[in-house]
Chain A
Amino acid sequence: MESVTHLPGLSAVMIWTLLKVLIVFSAVMGIASLWTWVERRGSAMLQDRIGPNRALLFGRWQLLGLPQLVADGIKFFFKEDQVPPHVTKSLYWLAPVLAFVPALIGFAVIPFGRDFTYKGVPYHLSILEPGNSMGMLFPLAIGAVAVYGILVAAWSSNNKWAILGGMRASAQMVSYEISLGLAVLAIFMKVGGYDPSEIIKDQMASGWFIWRQPLGFLVFFTCMFAESNRLPFDFAEGEAEIVGFHNEYGSMKFALIALSEYGHIITASALIATLYFGGWAVPFMPEAPVLLTILFFLIKLLFFLWVFVWVRWTLPRFRYDQLMFLGWKVLLPISMANLIFNAWLMSRGH
């Protein structure tokens, strides 16, 4: 990182970092918008429907309904940007950004491929270099910041239903944060560090954490659904019955909020893959080539993204008291037990 300080000359490292930022964010954005399509067609297939397939590219090519993405984008851009008169303008404009940015930058510490050395210079395939002393705490902290996006959106709307939706969502996210932290703590304890690359190395050495801490995985996985406000915990919006925090939003601002949900699930899937499924590790191939590790990371990521969609269209929504029950009386004790059990195991020298 020495050469970064030699501003404004562009060093290879800087270009590399810029390149990484570009590639990762465009990949995340691409997957996020692609996943709106997967969500709709996939849900249709899960429910024996057909899904959106009538948008044609240049009136001719159907492409499995993919032009619908373009059509939606164009529609969102050209819609009238209505700002209700009763909103608090500054916060109202800020909220979509507050919702969108944390969803994206949580991805920054996650390594998406094996480190490699080229001409004696080591390269790391994650936006922030390993050893940045934030490690896994960064996505968790950023994920917690996402509550502000929702709360600010709800609050600035000056609409009681939006505020109620925002309160529901923030209460939910805050309660699940605790079990989430405790579940991850067990991993940090086992690894002896919270840098993602250390965690992945440890998993390559002694097995993925899904086998070593299945209980912790269950807790973490469930909390990820709550954190990203997905069904069965989608109290933030509850699009079908209850009115949610983005009630007063339209056009591109709504699109940003909706996309941030997909950003969240991408980050969540990346976290699940990194913490419990060995990140970019290729099973039975400790010295896999770099491209293969990237491919495997992508496969794991896409698989969990698909699981998010799959679960959403399988389960009905929880009732709010059930949600709180599950969070405080089930997941919290389980994650505590998981932590204490692992601590006990470690004290016995395992």
Chain B
Amino acid sequence: MGVIVKKVELTWLDRSYVWPIAQGMIITFRHFLKQIATPTSKRFTIQYPDMKKTLPKGYRGLHELKRFEDGAIKCVACFMCQEACPARCISIEAEEFSELNFTQGFEEKRPSVFKIDMLRCIYCGMCEEACPKDAIWLRNEYEVAAYDRLSMNYGKWDLINTYAGADGKARLTQSQESPATPSRPASTSGNQAGPS
């Protein structure tokens, strides 16, 4: 069943060019006035280094390897994420740890090496889906850049500390309270002054 395209009958006024052009110019001029009267912070363009967009909740940015309250890594090196990764950019090496294996007869696993090649990662979130321990999260950091390829190979400690401050405490929630640079939510508008 095809869609019937209605032929638009042009009146002589439309075919004269002059009136439609005048209409179009009125429209663009209205946009001009509106844009000029709008303060920069409320315009559509987000002027990136000066302003940042507040990202939505489920944003898939740079990974974080989660930790327990006591600081132990949640990851048990089960390789599920490595299997699930469509870009094949996770490489894990497992190791045994804890004295439990001496006292109670079982041992735990943890990654000794956990590398993600951020140049290959497509931020699909499959690793997060696959993880049985909720140990790997994709979070809202998106400024992943470096001067050489090697430093784009994020290791275990990079991933653990991505969102931690210098003191090891998470700074993610804090930074959302008071952003260092003026930021603007996606839908509502802020009122920070910025360059015009």
Interface bits A11-48 vs B (CB < 8 Å: 1, else 0): 00000000000000000000000000000001011111
What distance in Å separates the Cβ of A325 from its nearest Cβ neighbour in chain B?
11
Residues B24 and A314 in contact, CB atoms below 8 Å apart: yes
Residue A218 is within 8 A (CB to CB) of chain B in the complex: yes
What distance in Å separates the Cβ of B112 from its nearest Cβ neighbour in chain A?
46
Other A-B pairs, 17, CB within 8 Å; known A44-B35, A310-B29: A45-B31, A45-B35, A45-B36, A46-B29, A46-B31, A47-B28, A47-B31, A48-B34, A48-B35, A48-B43, A49-B44, A64-B196, A311-B25, A314-B21, A314-B28, A315-B21, A315-B24
Q: How far is the CA of A45 from the CA of B29 in the complex (A)?
A: 9
User: For chain B residues 27-82, which have a beta carbon within 8 Å of chain A?
Assistant: 27-29, 31-32, 34-36, 40, 43-45, 47
Residue B145 is within 8 A (CB to CB) of chain A in the complex: no
Residue B195 is within 8 A (CB to CB) of chain A in the complex: yes
Secondary structure at chain B's binding surface: helix, strand, loop or mixed? helix
What distance in Å separates the Cβ of A108 from its nearest Cβ neighbour in chain B?
31
Residue A53 is within 8 A (CB to CB) of chain B in the complex: yes
Q: How far is the CA of A315 from the CA of B24 in the complex (A)?
A: 8
Residues B31 and A48 in contact, CB atoms below 8 Å apart: yes
Chain B residues packing against A (C-beta within 8 Å): 18, 21, 24-25, 27-29, 31-32, 34-36, 40, 43-45, 47, 195-196
Residue A313 is within 8 A (CB to CB) of chain B in the complex: yes
Residue of B nearest to A49 (CB): B45
Residues of B near A53 (CB, < 8 A) are 195-196
What distance in Å separates the Cβ of A40 from its nearest Cβ neighbour in chain B?
13
A-B CB proximity, top 7 nearest: A45-B35, A314-B28, A46-B28, A50-B45, A45-B32, A46-B32, A314-B24
What distance in Å separates the Cβ of B192 from its nearest Cβ neighbour in chain A?
15
Residues of B near A46 (CB, < 8 A) are 28-29, 31-32, 35
What distance in Å separates the Cβ of A62 from its nearest Cβ neighbour in chain B?
6
Residues of B near A45 (CB, < 8 A) are 31-32, 35-36
Residues A314 and B25 in contact, CB atoms below 8 Å apart: yes
In-complex Cβ contact of B28 among A50, A62, A218, A313 (8 A):
A313
Residues of B near A42 (CB, < 8 A) are 32
Q: List 7 A-B contacts (CB under 8 A).
A: A42-B32, A47-B31, A48-B44, A54-B195, A218-B18, A311-B21, A315-B24
